[in-house]
């Protein structure tokens, strides 16, 4: 077994432990469970990082050239953001809404062919790594916003029903969730904007045009428009709280289709072969 495969399988196992523990913690609030989640996630992240690094060394290029690598890197970026926000904000139960997404991504990744592919000539550019990292970090910020949105909707439901015990006490306040949701959407939108700009510059250097109306480009633009609409509604119309939370959840659907739907259902220059 290749070392990168071993690291990947071990990371998958630790993420599974973290995900199951997160779901249990959602219903049974034990402090020991919280510590287990963070420990399992951190170990899984280190193993996951080692797997990506091993593929990079073996292949000689940034490993995001097929669906296995791309879904794996998406999960890696999401774990990175999760750990950062967990350390900085200590959001109770955040893992219960993020780790299932992480595990789903890496599990899906495990079903795709794992063979290392030779880098196509068009990808041999300094823009490749920059563009990809910006895009995947943007996707991860939107995934985090989706998880925070779910947390807000649940907390808001508890508050309306005046059930102020149990889960209500372990979730952050509505104000904190709303502010972090806005922060993540703003971050994701900024990163996606830079990803589109760097992609356009890269396209011009590779094909002589900034925009080719490729399905991935079109759906990236649709995602960009969805999130600029969310920001507009918040900043200009005053949509906050529940409305923003609902939009962050539904908006993530466009990101999922941009990532999975385009690659699996549509054909274009961005489609993984």
Close Cβ partners of 236 (under 8 Å, ≥ 6 residues apart)? none
pLDDT value of position 50: 97
Burial class (CB in 10 A: 0-12, 13-18, 19+), 163: exposed
The CA–CA distances, whole Å, from 49 to 25, 128, 145, 163, 171 equal 26, 19, 23, 42, 30
Closest CA to 151 of 227, 107, 104, 89: 89
Q: How many helices (H) and strands (E) does the chain have?
A: 10, 0
| Distance in angstroms (rounded) separating the CA atoms of residues 48 and 35 | 20
Question: From the first residue on, what is the mean pLDDT of each consecutive set of 10 residues in the chain (273 residues)?
Answer: 90 96 84 84 97 91 89 97 91 90 96 83 78 95 96 89 72 91 96 93 77 84 94 90 93 93 70 47
Q: Which residue has the tokens 């807000």?
A: 152
Q: What is the CA radius of gyration of the chain?
A: 19
The CA–CA distances, whole Å, from 98 to 18, 95, 155, 212, 236 equal 10, 5, 16, 34, 29
Close Cβ partners of 53 (under 8 Å, ≥ 6 residues apart)? none
Q: Which two tokens stand for residue 62?
A: 């940034």
Q: Which two tokens stand for residue 71?
A: 């879904």
Let me know: does 58 contact 118? Beta carbons within 8 Å: no
pLDDT value of position 92: 73
pLDDT value of position 210: 75
pLDDT value of position 91: 81
The pTM (predicted TM-score) of the whole model is: 0.91
How many CB atoms neighbour CB 36 within 10 A?
A: 18
Q: Which residues of 175-201 are buried (b: 16+ CB within 10 A; e: fewer)?
A: ebbbebbbbbbbbbbebbebbbebbbe
pLDDT value of position 187: 97
| Distance in angstroms (rounded) separating the CA atoms of residues 171 and 139 | 24
The CA–CA distances, whole Å, from 207 to 38, 201, 210, 212, 266 equal 45, 10, 8, 9, 21
């Amino acid at each position: 077994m290749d070392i990168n495969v071993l690291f990947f399988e071990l990371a998958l196992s630790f993420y599974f432990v973290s995900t199951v523990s997160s779901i249990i913690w959602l219903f049974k609030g034990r402090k020991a469970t919280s510590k287990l989640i963070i420990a399992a996630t951190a170990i899984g992240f280190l193993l996951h990082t080692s797997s990506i690094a091993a593929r990079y060394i073996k292949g000689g290029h940034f490993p995001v050239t097929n669906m296995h690598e791309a879904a794996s890197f998406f999960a890696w970026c999401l774990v990175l953001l999760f750990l950062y926000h967990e350390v900085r904000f200590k959001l109770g139960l955040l893992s219960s809404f993020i780790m299932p997404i992480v595990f789903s991504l890496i599990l899906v990744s495990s079903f795709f062919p794992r063979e290392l592919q030779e880098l196509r000539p068009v990808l041999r550019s300094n823009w490749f790594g920059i563009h990809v990292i910006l895009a995947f970090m943007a996707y991860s910020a939107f995934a985090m916003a989706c998880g925070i949105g779910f947390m807000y909707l649940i907390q808001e439901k508890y508050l309306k029903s005046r059930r102020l015990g149990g889960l209500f006490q372990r979730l952050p306040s509505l104000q904190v969730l709303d502010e972090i949701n806005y922060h993540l959407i703003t971050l994701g939108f900024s990163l996606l904007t830079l990803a589109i700009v760097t992609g356009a510059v890269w396209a011009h250097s590779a094909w002589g045009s900034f925009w080719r109306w490729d399905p991935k480009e079109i759906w990236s633009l649709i995602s960009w428009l969805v999130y600029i609409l969310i920001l507009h509604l918040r900043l200009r119309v005053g949509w906050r709280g529940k409305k923003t939370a609902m939009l962050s959840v539904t908006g993530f659907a466009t990101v999922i289709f941009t990532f999975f739907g385009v690659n699996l259902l549509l054909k274009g220059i961005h489609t993984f072969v």
